[in-house]
Structure 1
Amino acid sequence: MVVPETMTAARLHEVGGELKLEKLPTPRPGDLDVLVRVKACGIVPNLGNILANWPTWFPHMPQPPLPAIFGLDPAGEIDAVGRQVHALKPGDRVYVNPGRSCGACRHCRRGDAISCKHYAFQGYFGFSDDAMLTFAQYPSGGLSEYMVAPASAVVSIPDNMSYEQAARLGYLGTNYSALKKANAGPGDTILVNGISGTLGIGAAVFGPAMGVKKILGTGRDRQLLEEVKSLAPSRIEVFSIDDGSITDFVMEHTNGEGADAFIDCLGPGAKHETFLQGLASLRRGGIAVNIGAVMGAVAIDVHWLMDHCQRLHGSLWFTTEEGQEMADLVAAGAANLSMFKTQGYPLAQVNQAISGIAERHGGFSNFVIYP
């Protein structure tokens, strides 16, 4: 394939400013990299806050140096590969996991890249000042016609997964990784707080594909909850938190034993009470996983956790291996992503898209940019 010398990209020049379309040199892949022609890049509900407020809210978690090309969830087609890339080729359809690490520390060498002190999201933010070295190597995200990424970060996507659906794998993968940490599988009953949201809906998609017997989903909007239930009516039960206690709801559906696992997908503004009701819904030996980032000091009875052999995990993002597993489940027909309603915008309308993303139909809305 002939790669053009220049490309169009949307760059942020100042915090709180608009993204500007610019012509830039097309990046070239290193020996272990791939060059991806981006076909769709997912944009998520908090992107506006990331661009406008992140340095003030979380100064210890740096963004790439400005001007920068953002864009967290790119999917597209490989246009070129580095000299030492042999298992991928031009024309391959892929999703790019944005998680980057140093690749050489003891965590990376044992397959735990997310624990690397250099870990960062390409085109988004890092988790410590050490991430600046990572941004120097991979500075640009998916809001551009082309991007370079390590071959090891690539998920091969099947023909029955559109680029728009693949651009949702980031938030789906966050829930999928939580399900795996919870050892979710056949015979299990899983409680999911916020199941109708952008994060939570992943449990309704992949929980049944993993053999989970029953998914108990909570939220506030009753109409959205019923739409989630319709994805697997015999295996999903839903409950509005406006109707009473989550714990009572779970005990009713588990003969008083409690859920095998609890995945909390509620965001920073959620009430601690809702999270604590989820913890109180666990059976003896149950596992809780937080992926929604409930904020503040939550009053947890650690003695109770110990006596009941319960575990509480904080889970961030997902591995490329887990990304490939999701793609393979879709390829096999075990998971279906057709419920997502895509709202797509050309790159020239990226600022309008970001400002309008608040108007969405819960987790069913899928916003993408077409570079």
Structure 2
Amino acid sequence: MSEMKAARAHQGARVLQLERVPVPQVNEHDVLVRVASAGLAPSTMKLLAAGMFRHLPTVPGHEAAGTVEQVGSGVDPALLGRRVRVHPMLSCGVCGYCAGDRQQMCAEAAMIGQGAFGTGTLELYARYHDGGLAEFVRAPHWLIDEIPDNVSFDLAAKVHDLGNAVRALKCAGPLTAATMVITAATGTMGTASIVLAEHFGIDRLVLVGRSAERLQAARRLVPHLRADTIALEELGPDWQTAGGLTARIRALVPAGPEAVLDYLPEGPGSEQAFRSLANGGVFVHMGGNPAPIAIPMRETMLGCWRFVGTRACTRDDTDTVLRLLATGKVQAERLITHRFALDDVNDALTALDERHEPMWMGVIRP
């Protein structure tokens, strides 16, 4: 077990390279996980191009689940053979952000297998930057979560994305019997939010996406909740400049929704969804949309609206997901629509980025 297969990112590369590399060495506080499933993220190559991977070459993949193969001398040996997921968020653990359930804002914030976002020394990231698109991944023992017996490795690998949805839903709350709009509802974050919504005070959804056909498939994720759909392709050619999305939401919900979860990565749909809010409503954005929102402050004052920008999730968020999955209250296995071999990782990333066919969540099985 001296070598393993891994997909590695190199400086300036547009694809990942499949290589044989040494298996990570386990030190005192480390756990080595044999990867059974690793999540696919459309941000991987974008972050590489943006220079967010600080140590190259590196193994991407911030979502990983598998069995514990080795533990360091300072780790409980009872973990050996256990089914686990790796929580990817690295942080200092002692600052005000970390103590306040906001680890993603820590100066040391970075992710195993993904980018570095903090402005500190990033010492942990220097050691644990290699991720899960490989046969093995190493992580500090405090970032290892055992997974319930009723949760597959594939779903465990995507707990982080479900945790992101929990974070967005928490930012919108507390809510009771609320109507919520979810944009980009047929993507990874949209579908994750749909299956979790009823556990956060939501009893009606308005799902916004490009395709009417794909929206109907997403709607079936919550057969017991009222869920209306708005297909952008059906709003008419001038919807982007004529406020067509705002008008359509208000036609369905005359008083406006209490909350909007916005995952749109571009375009004017974000602002138009914001303008649809009810008095006192909250707009939560987690889509990374570069388009500006030109809403006068007076309008937000009169509407008593809240705007919340948020990113990533915390350990408390993923613990919430694991509890809901363990009890069977959330059925999320069906969100895993695509499974690929490690040898096909570049085809998988292209499929996830282009989404020519319906694709909610995808995983790699090394």
Q: TM-score, normalised by structure 2?
A: 0.88
Q: Does 1:155 align with 2:145?
A: yes
What does residue 261 of structure 2 align with?
A: 263
116, 126, 146: which one pairs with 1:136? 126
Q: 1:166 and 1:334, CA in 2 relative to 1: closer, same or farther beyond 3 A?
A: same
| Letter paired with 1:54 | A
Shift of residue 216, structure 1, vs aligned partner: 1.0
Distance 1:341 1:91 in 2: 25
Counterpart residue number, 1:236 = 227
CA contact (8 A) 1:217 1:238 kept: yes
- Structure 1 gap segments, 5+ residues each: 56-61
Q: Which amino acid aligns with 1:266?
A: L
Percent pairwise identity: 29
Aligned residues of 1:18 and 1:351 also touching (Cα < 8 A): yes
**1:169-208 correspondence runs (5 A):** 169-183=159-173, 185-208=175-198
Deviation of 1:110 (Å): 3.8
CA distance in 2, matches of 1:108, 1:154: 17
Q: Check whether the contact 2:44–2:60 (CA below 8 A) recurs between aligned residues.
A: no
Give the drift of 1:130. Answer: 3.3
CA distance in 2, matches of 1:337, 1:214: 19
In the alignment, the residues of structure 2 paired with residue 91 and residue 286 of structure 1 have an alpha-carbon distance, to the nearest angstrom, of 47
**Partners of 1:260 and 1:283 within 8 A in 2:** yes
Partner residue of 1:59? none
Deviates further, 311-320 or 22-31:
22-31
- Structure 1 residue 199, shift from structure 2 partner: 1.7
For 1:107 and 1:87, locate their aligned partners in 2 and report how far apart those are by CA, in whole Å. Answer: 31
* Counterpart in the other structure of 2:81: 91
Instruction: Give the letter for the 2:166 counterpart.
Output: Y
Is the alpha carbon distance of 1:125 and 1:145 closer, same or farther for their aligned partners in structure 2, counting shifts above 3 Å? same
Structure 2 partner of 1:355: 350
Match of 1:37 in 2: 34
Q: Distance in 1 between matches of 2:77 and 2:228?
A: 43
Alignment of 1:217-256 (within 5 A): 217-233=207-223, 234-244=225-235, 245-254=244-253, 256=254
Find the partner of 2:102 among 88, 93, 112: 112
Q: SS of the residue aligned with 2:81?
A: coil
Cα distance between partner residues in 1 of 2:210 and 2:14: 33
Residue 363 and residue 318 in structure 1: after superposition, are their counterparts in 2 closer, same or farther (change >3 A)? farther
Cα pair 1:184 1:212 within 8 Å, conserved: no
Distance 2:358 2:120 in 1: 35
Work out the CA distance in 1 between the residues paired with 2:338 and 2:219.
23
Partner of 1:47: 44
Q: For 1:26-67, what per-residue CA distance to the aligned partner results, in whole angstroms no more than 9, with x for missing partners?
A: 22444443221111111123434334x223xxxxxx313111
**Among 297, 310, 313, the residue aligned to 1:302:** 297
Matching residue of 2:341: 346
> Is 1:11–2:18 an aligned residue pair?
no
Deviates more, 1:76-85 or 1:120-129: 76-85
DSSP 3-state at the match of 1:305: helix
Q: Kindly tell me: are residues 89 and 138 of structure 1, through their superposed partners in 2, closer, same or farther at Cα, counting changes over 3 Å? A: same
Asked if the contact 2:280–2:303 (Cα under 8 Å) also holds between the matched residues in 1, the reply is yes
Specify which of 281, 284, 291 is matched with residue 289 of structure 1. Answer: 284
Aligned residue type for 1:236 = A
2:28/2:74 contact within 8 Å kept: yes
Deviation at 1:266, TM superposition (A): 0.6
| RMSD (Å) for aligned C-alpha atoms | 2.4
Q: SS where residue 282 of structure 1 aligns?
A: coil
1:337 matched to which residue of 2?
332
Letter paired with 2:68: I
